[in-house]
Amino acid sequence: MQPRDPRTSQFIRSSMAREMLDPETEHRLALAWRDQRDEAALHRLIIAYTRLAVSVATRYRRYGMPLDDLIQQGNLGLMRAAEKYDPENGARFSTYAAWWIRASMQEYVMRNWSVVRTATNAAQKKLFFHLRKALLNLDEDEVRRDGLSASVARELDVPEEQVEIMLGRMSGQDLSLNVTQNGEEDGRDWMEALEDDSIQTETQVLDELEGQQRREMLYSALQELPEREQRIIAERHLNESPRTLAEIGVDLGISKERVRQLEERAVSRITRTVQDAARLQMTA
């Protein structure tokens, strides 16, 4: 592990010494930024929660990324959250910002963990960040009976073929394509054997735009939920380590069954809102 940059250490210390915003102050600052574009209010709101970016960054260091880069990505996610946050929705800014901070860091980790693009869909992203924990939780008898890939797929509720792909990618090291295939100097490089199957630029742009639209519809639908349901969805589906129904029930002072009912209702509301928004876009 590389020694920490003194400037990074200073930033961490100063972040931890920042003020803690109460809900009323946080709400007032968010309104001032949204309605009046008050940059002083935005600066105070973001600075108060740089500690959150630092905290999340320390958890992602295990992927071998520089801490200062992770913190920078977290701050980018924090600014993105401030730009999109609706203070009248009822949810705390810190809860909303935490999701954007994690999303920004996860994208950075997946983009830089290997020269090969590691996670290209939701299932692979889930596998990348939860595979290690899933392997530790597996039952040895189950693995012997059903095989490793099938056991992991069942544990994480993802397709078995996606597990096999991710296990293969994470088990080897990156190799140079300039290495000769037969190991001799006069042999052909692996680069020469690759087929150019890249998609057309126009198709790529359209796919990215469509993906961005889907994400924005999902975030909008999430913000329309009551605060308690937002918290349940965040804890159950957006956290790096999802919490159990019982744990959330203890925090909220309700039964596990009630948490399950609220989660089911929230998912139904999000699905309906996203479907309605998609239909409107198709008829527009």
Query: pLDDT band at 32, cuts 50/70/90?
Result: very high
Residue 182 predicted with pLDDT over 60: no
Radius of gyration of the chain (CA): 22
The pLDDT of 112-118, averaged and rounded, is 55
The pLDDT of residue 190: 47
Structural domain contains residue 267: yes
The pLDDT of residue 106: 80
Structural domain contains residue 231: yes
Query: pLDDT band at 110, cuts 50/70/90?
Result: confident
Residues 210 and 269 in one domain: yes
| CATH of residue 240 | 1.10.10.10
Structural domain contains residue 185: no
Cα separation, 57 vs 72, whole angstroms: 9
Query: pLDDT band at 169, cuts 50/70/90?
Result: low
Residue 174 predicted with pLDDT over 50: no
The pLDDT of residue 177: 46
The pLDDT of residue 3: 52
Residues 86 and 166 in one domain: no
Residues 153 and 167 in one domain: yes
Cα separation, 87 vs 225, whole angstroms: 13
Residues 103 and 80 in one domain: yes
Domain encompassing residue 126:
115-172
Structural domain contains residue 242: yes
Residues 108 and 37 in one domain: yes
The pLDDT of residue 281: 63
For residues 15 and 49, the answer to whether their CB atoms sit within 8 Å is: no
Residues 43 and 129 in one domain: no
6-14 long-range contacts, CB within 8 A, separation 24+: 7/68, 8/67, 8/68, 8/71, 11/50, 11/54, 11/68, 11/71, 12/54, 12/71
Residue 115 predicted with pLDDT over 50: no
Higher pLDDT, 56 or 90: 56
Structural domain contains residue 184: no
Per cent of the chain over pLDDT 90 is 19
Residues 80 and 122 in one domain: no
The pLDDT of residue 109: 82
Higher pLDDT, 239 or 58: 58
pTM, 2 dp? 0.48
Residues 226 and 278 in one domain: yes
Structural domain contains residue 2: no
Query: pLDDT band at 75, cuts 50/70/90?
Result: very high
Residues 231 and 138 in one domain: no
For residues 238 and 129, the answer to whether their CB atoms sit within 8 Å is: no
The pLDDT of residue 120: 55
Highest mean pLDDT among 52-56, 102-106, 120-124, 185-189: 52-56
- pLDDT per residue over 251-280, tens digit each? 889 999 999 999 999 888 888 887 777 677
Residues 233 and 277 in one domain: yes
Into how many domains does the chain fold?
3
| CATH of residue 86 | 1.20.120.1810
